[in-house]
Amino acid sequence: MSRSAYGKSPCYYCGRRISNAGWAKVSHMRKHVREGLVTEEQRIDYSQGTRNFRTYLRFSATEEGKRARRESIKQRRLQQGQGLLEYAMLLILVALIVIVLLVIFGRGIGNMFSNIISNI
């Protein structure tokens, strides 16, 4: 899962893919604030002077939020495992089909090649 500066990344708490745009993240996190998973905290930085302050938003996980985060990570790992399993099963299915086709038509195909070779 890529965590690039553009596009979307999965949310730590619910696993939904949310836009990396700052406002979209904040509005999504405020949903989790309402659910009680995180607390919102505003920090004001006066280091550039009282007239030139900057405000920061900080979302920290509550105990429930930490639990939701663990659960979400577990779910994502499980889904990745399932994807891998489906891929492996598909590969086995294709191999079985090829084997069955060779068993049924193998002799016919061999004869066909023999005929071609003897006719050259």
Q: Where along the sequence are the contacts to Zn ion (CB under 5 A)? A: 11, 13-14
- Residue 11 or 59 having the CB closest to Zn ion: 11
- Residue 39 or 115 having the CB closest to Zn ion: 39
Instruction: Please list the alpha-helical segments (H only) found in the chain.
Output: 22-35, 63-119
Spatial separation of the C-alpha atoms in residues 26 and 75, rounded to whole Å: 23
Closest-approach residue to Zn ion (CB): 11
DSSP codes, 6-27: SSEEE-TTT--EEE-SHHHHHH
Smallest separation (angstroms) from Zn ion to the CB of 79: 16
- Residue 13 or 59 having the CB closest to Zn ion: 13
Smallest separation (angstroms) from Zn ion to the CB of 32: 6
Output the six-digit token pair for 74: 């577990």
